[in-house]
């Protein structure tokens, strides 16, 4: 948006004079730059409030005697009627033309309709800030921080409501995407499109526990009221080589071992608290959205959970499947700790077997676990783990092809969505609140926030 710089400069000079005069009254020469900044901010808040009021009151233009109603009837001008909104400039009260008298019984303020205003509610501009705080902080803590930026207070419930409204928009977007990918017409149009798809695309799925407090009265009556639910999280992403000049100390060590260091880019997260079968529909739909079904190479890196691999085989049976290296290697460490009494024995066994795993010689790893099966319960249990995933552990082949072999991206996603938001101190959730907040945060982490902001500003007014 372009502005008249000359007028802006004039306003700036007038504001400077006002602030200078106010500071002299308050403290004379003792004012520091911080005092000046805060005085300017407080003044601009008041100016913005007044300007928004004037803007809305002048937006009516010429008042007409009658206008058409949405039902097709006629509305007659009544009077200029007062309305209140909560904006980024605090509470704004303004007068605007109001029409009524149609046989349908509905009234109308054209200014409200034109600018998407719902009197008594939060504006779209303030809503995006409240929701942004809500996806990154506990609602109560977030509103306290927000006061430092906005210079006025909002309630915890308002922050929660706007955050979860964004989550609801994301849930609707997810539902629309699922519906579209189940429509033959939509899929045919998609096949005919020339949209670019990644040459190599990665996908990962995992789950993390979220504490949900039942709200149903029957559930509340049960002694153990709290339940832990699995929030399933998925991520689509691409990879790129990290230049040597950008290597951290850890990455330099990794480069010596693996030759190249990869990092993820263009991460797109999706999540829900659903059974695996229902989550699979979202898994397929989001995959279609990023071209997973048309990528030249599709690679999945996950842990050993059976439900995850069942979904992958069902929807993307030709994809390359890799069990996370770090999970597989850590299991060998735990086996050694359980099976051997001395440090030397543990290290000797672990180094040899880990090297076999690193080179993709999974059959030798299984043999080594078989040898320890009688004195280590974990070794016995691991026979099925390594046996069921032999082809998913050919790490030498995967490294030679230049693929990621670690699922750190999805583990990071679970931490950022669940640990850093849903599990923070004092957080209590009902099922819907947990899902909506998680979906809103996933959108923020996926650089999809602006889509939600746009959708929020286009929400229809309450009838």
Give pLDDT tens digits for 119-160. 999 999 999 999 999 999 999 999 999 999 999 999 999 999
CA 283, CA 236: separation in Å to the nearest integer? 10
What confidence tier does 216 reach under pLDDT thresholds 50, 70, 90? low
| Mean per-residue pLDDT, 103-122 | 93
Q: Is the pLDDT of residue 117 over 50?
A: yes
With respect to residue 354, please indicate whether it lies within any of the assigned structural domains: yes
% of the chain with per-residue pLDDT over 90: 78
| Statement to judge: residues 54 and 82 lie in one domain | no
Of 362, 378, 395, which marks where a domain is finished?
Answer: 395
What confidence tier does 218 reach under pLDDT thresholds 50, 70, 90? low
With respect to residue 84, please indicate whether it lies within any of the assigned structural domains: yes
Alpha-helical regions (H) of 211-361: 217-221, 249-258, 276-290, 306-315, 325-339, 343-358
Tokens of 135: 């996806």
With respect to residue 432, please indicate whether it lies within any of the assigned structural domains: no
CA 449, CA 229: separation in Å to the nearest integer? 26
CA-based radius of gyration for the chain: 29
Quote the pLDDT of residue 283: 98
| Statement to judge: residues 72 and 113 lie in one domain | yes
Q: Is the pLDDT of residue 461 over 70?
A: no
| Mean per-residue pLDDT, 241-254 | 79
Tokens of 302: 């996950």
- Are 199 and 186 contacting, i.e. CB atoms less than 8 angstroms apart? no
Of 126-135, 240-249, 344-353, 453-462, the least confident: 453-462
% of the chain with per-residue pLDDT over 70: 94
Of 101-115, 168-182, 244-258, 294-308, the least confident: 244-258
What is the per-residue pLDDT across 255-287, written as a single tens digit (0 to 9) for each?
677 777 889 999 999 999 999 999 999 999 999
| Statement to judge: residues 174 and 144 lie in one domain | yes
| Statement to judge: residues 116 and 132 lie in one domain | no
With respect to residue 115, please indicate whether it lies within any of the assigned structural domains: yes
CA 389, CA 399: separation in Å to the nearest integer? 17
| Statement to judge: residues 391 and 331 lie in one domain | yes
Quote the pLDDT of residue 463: 41
What's the mean per-residue pLDDT of the chain? 91
What confidence tier does 244 reach under pLDDT thresholds 50, 70, 90? confident
**pLDDT higher for 118 or 225?**
118
According to DSSP, the β-strands at 66-68 and 200-212 are unpaired
In sequence order, the 6+-apart residues with CB closer than 8 A to the CB of 7 are none
| Mean per-residue pLDDT, 436-449 | 96
**pLDDT higher for 206 or 182?**
206
Of 79, 100, 124, which marks where a domain is finished?
Answer: 124
What confidence tier does 326 reach under pLDDT thresholds 50, 70, 90? very high
What confidence tier does 295 reach under pLDDT thresholds 50, 70, 90? very high
Q: Which domain holds residue 360?
A: 327-395
With respect to residue 110, please indicate whether it lies within any of the assigned structural domains: yes
| Statement to judge: residues 48 and 97 lie in one domain | no
Q: Is the pLDDT of residue 419 over 80?
A: yes
With respect to residue 290, please indicate whether it lies within any of the assigned structural domains: no
Q: Is the pLDDT of residue 428 over 90?
A: no
| Statement to judge: residues 144 and 116 lie in one domain | no
Quote the pLDDT of residue 28: 59
Quote the pLDDT of residue 217: 58
| Statement to judge: residues 50 and 72 lie in one domain | no
| Statement to judge: residues 333 and 361 lie in one domain | yes
* Exposure on the CB side of residue 212, measured as CA atoms within 13 A: 22
| Statement to judge: residues 51 and 78 lie in one domain | no
- How many domains does the chain contain in total? 4
Of 78-92, 114-128, 391-405, 447-461, the least confident: 447-461
Q: What is the DSSP letter of 121?
A: S
| Statement to judge: residues 18 and 37 lie in one domain | yes
| Statement to judge: residues 120 and 136 lie in one domain | no
- For 106: left if phi > 0, alpha if psi spans -120 to 50, otherwise beta; the answer is beta
With respect to residue 94, please indicate whether it lies within any of the assigned structural domains: yes
With respect to residue 413, please indicate whether it lies within any of the assigned structural domains: no
* Residue 190: other Cβ atoms inside 10 A: 17
Of 124, 146, 170, which marks where a domain is finished?
Answer: 124
């Amino acid at each position: 948006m372009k502005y008249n710089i000359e007028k802006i400069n004039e306003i700036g000079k007038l504001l400077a004079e006002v602030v200078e005069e106010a500071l002299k009254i308050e403290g004379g020469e003792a004012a520091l730059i911080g005092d000046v900044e805060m005085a300017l901010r407080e003044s601009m808040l008041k100016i913005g409030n007044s300007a928004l009021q004037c803007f809305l009151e002048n937006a009516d233009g010429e008042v007409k005697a009658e206008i058409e109603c949405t039902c097709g009837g006629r509305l007659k001008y009544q009077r200029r009627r007062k309305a209140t909104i909560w904006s980024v400039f605090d509470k704004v009260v303004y007068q605007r033309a109001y029409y009524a008298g149609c046989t349908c019984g509905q009234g109308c303020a054209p200014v409200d309709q034109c600018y998407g205003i719902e009197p008594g509610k939060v504006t779209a501009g303030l809503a995006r800030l409240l929701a942004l705080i809500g996806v990154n902080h506990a609602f109560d803590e977030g509103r306290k921080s927000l006061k430092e930026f906005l210079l006025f207070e909002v309630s915890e419930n308002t922050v929660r409501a706007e955050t979860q409204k964004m989550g609801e928009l994301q849930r609707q977007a997810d539902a629309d995407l699922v519906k579209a990918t189940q429509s033959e017409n939509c899929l045919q149009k998609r096949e005919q499109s020339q949209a670019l798809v990644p040459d190599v695309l990665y996908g990962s799925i995992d789950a993390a526990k979220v504490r949900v407090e039942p709200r149903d009265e029957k559930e509340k009556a049960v002694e153990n009221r709290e339940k832990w639910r699995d929030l399933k999280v998925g991520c689509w992403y691409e990879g790129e080589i990290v230049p040597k000049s950008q290597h951290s100390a850890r990455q330099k060590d990794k480069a010596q071992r693996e030759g190249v260091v990869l990092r993820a880019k263009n991460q797109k997260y999706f999540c829900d608290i659903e059974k695996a079968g229902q989550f699979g529909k979202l898994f397929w739909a989001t995959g279609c959205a990023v071209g997973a079904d048309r990528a030249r190479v599709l690679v999945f890196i996950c842990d050993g959970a059976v439900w995850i691999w069942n979904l992958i085989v069902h929807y993307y049976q030709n994809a390359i499947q890799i069990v996370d290296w770090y999970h597989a290697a850590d299991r060998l460490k735990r086996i050694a700790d359980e099976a051997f009494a001395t440090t030397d024995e543990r290290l000797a066994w672990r180094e040899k077997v880990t090297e076999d795993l690193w080179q993709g010689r999974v059959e030798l790893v299984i043999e080594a676990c078989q040898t320890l099966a009688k004195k280590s319960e974990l070794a016995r249990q691991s026979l099925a783990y390594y046996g069921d995933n032999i082809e998913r552990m050919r790490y030498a082949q995967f490294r030679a092809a230049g693929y990621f072999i670690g699922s750190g991206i999805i583990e990071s996603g679970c931490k950022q969505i669940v640990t850093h938001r849903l599990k923070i101190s004092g957080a209590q959730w009902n099922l819907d609140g947990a899902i909506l907040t998680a979906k809103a945060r996933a959108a923020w982490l996926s650089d999809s926030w602006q889509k939600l902001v746009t959708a929020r500003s286009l929400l229809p007014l309450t009838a």
